[in-house]
Amino acid sequence: MPTIVLRYGEIWLKGLNKSFFEDRFIKNIKFLLKKNNIEYDIKNLRARILLKVDKKVPDLKRVFGITSYSYAKEIDLDLKKIKKEVLKLCKKGKTFRITTKRLSKDIALSSQEINEIVGDFVVKKLKLKVNLKNAEQDIFIEILNKKAYLFDDKKDTIECFGGLPVGVSGLCTLILDNKNSILAGIMMLKRGCSLEIIRDKKISYKKLEIFSSGTKIKEVKHYSDYSYAVVDAGTLKNFKERNYRKMALRPLINLSQEDIDKKLKYFC
């Protein structure tokens, strides 16, 4: 089964309640896997989630909380095996660099020593040139849980949206009355909120459901008593004072329409 190395950002900073965020994060990942009928094995380790799957995972990028992930080769923590597998990753005629991260101290060598030993081996075997600043191949060796995970960072790593897992920050009511409201909703989901919506019937919220990680988006006529805030897509240009009788959140307030269109394209 291919191994996916998942990285997260803000969750790492949550201190004593970090496990609450991690549990929700893993729950959201599992929802996506089950939705796509993907067999999996998942482990929560230091600063990484290791995910073994039977096929590639669609829409993994849209699980908020993930900063990036890489499809990696998992091997035993043996320097000879690492050298052999790195040779398979390197392509002839292209510059390269080796980047090692010891996420657990399961080997006596330092990261720099591993870089030098493996890099020297590649140079001698394939006659490739090292380029530390702008390599065409950036071969990563991540050491974790007495295993090594190898991948070409330029080819095998997908950058994601980060943020917090949907469902950790309470319920907000989104006023869905124009296309900009979709972005306002996505930005609240990224902050870990779940959503209910009051909408103009002409506007679809399918794009919001893509990012909701299985948290149901309810359509309501009036906001619920347990909704802690109302979200609208107002900006400085079209700001209107409205009496929502609840805290009002306007995540687009300082954005121009050009900025909003760029962000919508970025997410969708």
Does some domain include residue 257? yes
Does some domain include residue 181? yes
Statement to judge: residues 16 and 127 lie in one domain:
yes
Statement to judge: residues 46 and 129 lie in one domain:
yes
Does some domain include residue 251? yes
Give the DSSP letter of residue 18. Answer: H
Residue 2 has pLDDT above 80, yes or no: no
Statement to judge: residues 140 and 180 lie in one domain:
no
More confident residue, 202 or 1: 202
Statement to judge: residues 116 and 209 lie in one domain:
no
Statement to judge: residues 28 and 144 lie in one domain:
yes
Statement to judge: residues 133 and 186 lie in one domain:
no
Does some domain include residue 164? no
Domain extent for 77: 3-159
Q: Which residue among 139, 159, 179 closes a domain?
A: 159
Q: Which residue among 159, 183, 199 closes a domain?
A: 159
35: its two tokens: 């939705």
Statement to judge: residues 135 and 23 lie in one domain:
yes
Q: How far is CA 29 from CA 63, 126, 179, 219, 237, in A?
A: 7, 39, 28, 24, 38
Does some domain include residue 78? yes
CATH of the domain at 78: 3.30.2130.30
Q: What domain count does the chain have?
A: 2
The whole-number pLDDT of residue 241 equals: 81
Statement to judge: residues 125 and 192 lie in one domain:
no
Statement to judge: residues 236 and 153 lie in one domain:
no
> pLDDT tens digits, residue range 53-92?
988 899 999 999 999 999 999 999 999 999 999 999 999 9
Does some domain include residue 28? yes
User: How does 143-167 read in b/e, with b if 16+ C-beta sit within 10 Å?
Assistant: bbeebbbbbbeeebbeebbbbbbbb
The whole-number pLDDT of residue 202 equals: 83
Statement to judge: residues 136 and 217 lie in one domain:
no
Does some domain include residue 206? yes
CATH of the domain at 248: 3.40.50.620
pLDDT above 90 as % of the chain = 82
The whole-number pLDDT of residue 20 equals: 94
Q: What does DSSP say about strands 66-76 and 3-8: parallel, antiparallel, or unpaired?
A: antiparallel
Statement to judge: residues 102 and 188 lie in one domain:
no
pLDDT band (50, 70, 90) for residue 15: confident
> pLDDT tens digits, residue range 195-233?
999 997 788 999 999 999 999 999 999 988 889 999 999
Does some domain include residue 194? yes
| Chain centroid offset of residue 44 CA | 15
pLDDT above 70 as % of the chain = 100
Statement to judge: residues 141 and 21 lie in one domain:
yes
Q: Which residue among 127, 159, 191 closes a domain?
A: 159
> pLDDT tens digits, residue range 234-249?
998 888 888 888 999 9
